[in-house]
Structures are given as structure tokens and as C-alpha cells.
Amino acid sequence: MSHTIVTEVCEGVADCVDACPVACIHPGPGKNIQGTEWYWIDFTTCIDCGICIQVCPVEGAIVPEERPDLQKTP
């Protein structure tokens, strides 16, 4: 099962992008409700390694389950 970036919590720090071993994290278009950049995880590519959660400094921005209801995708 993949992880999910919660679109409206993500602050666009992007530490997860460089840390991801399979490059499944991509920038979303525009800004979220906080007015920040945001990222999304491609569920078909994610290998459920959890590195993104470990490196993300924003509490609650990434959850360890596949939740398409919390993550916008382009």
C-alpha cells in the first residue's frame, strides 16, 4: 500500500522528493489552501518504504496509507 501526501497540510518543503528512492513524489499544480506549493505521491510507483514520512518536517503531511480522498492529483 502506498503512502499519501495530505494536500492541504503539505507545505512544499520537498525533502521527500530527494529522499524517495523510486521518484514517485511530484509537484502539484498551483497552491493549496495554505497558499503553499504541494506535492503528491504516485500510488502506482510508491513502494511503501516510509522514507518520506521520516524526512518530512511537517507533522501530518504524509500518512502511511493510500488515501486518495486526502491527496489531490493533477
pTM of the predicted protein model = 0.94
Q: Thinking of the domain 1-74, which architecture would CATH place it in?
A: 2-Layer Sandwich (3.30)
User: What is the average pLDDT across 5-18?
Assistant: 98
When the pLDDT of each residue in the chain is averaged and rounded to a whole number, the result is 97
Backbone CA torsion sign across 48, 54, 58, 63: positive
User: Residue 1 — very low, low, confident or very high, per pLDDT cuts 50/70/90?
Assistant: confident
**Reported confidence tier of residue 11, pLDDT bands at 50, 70, 90:** very high
16 φ/ψ angles, rounded to the nearest 5 degrees: -65, -35
Give CA–CA dist 15/26, Å, rounded: 12
* HSE toward the beta carbon, residue 67, CA cutoff 13 A: 14
Residue 63 has pLDDT above 90, yes or no: yes
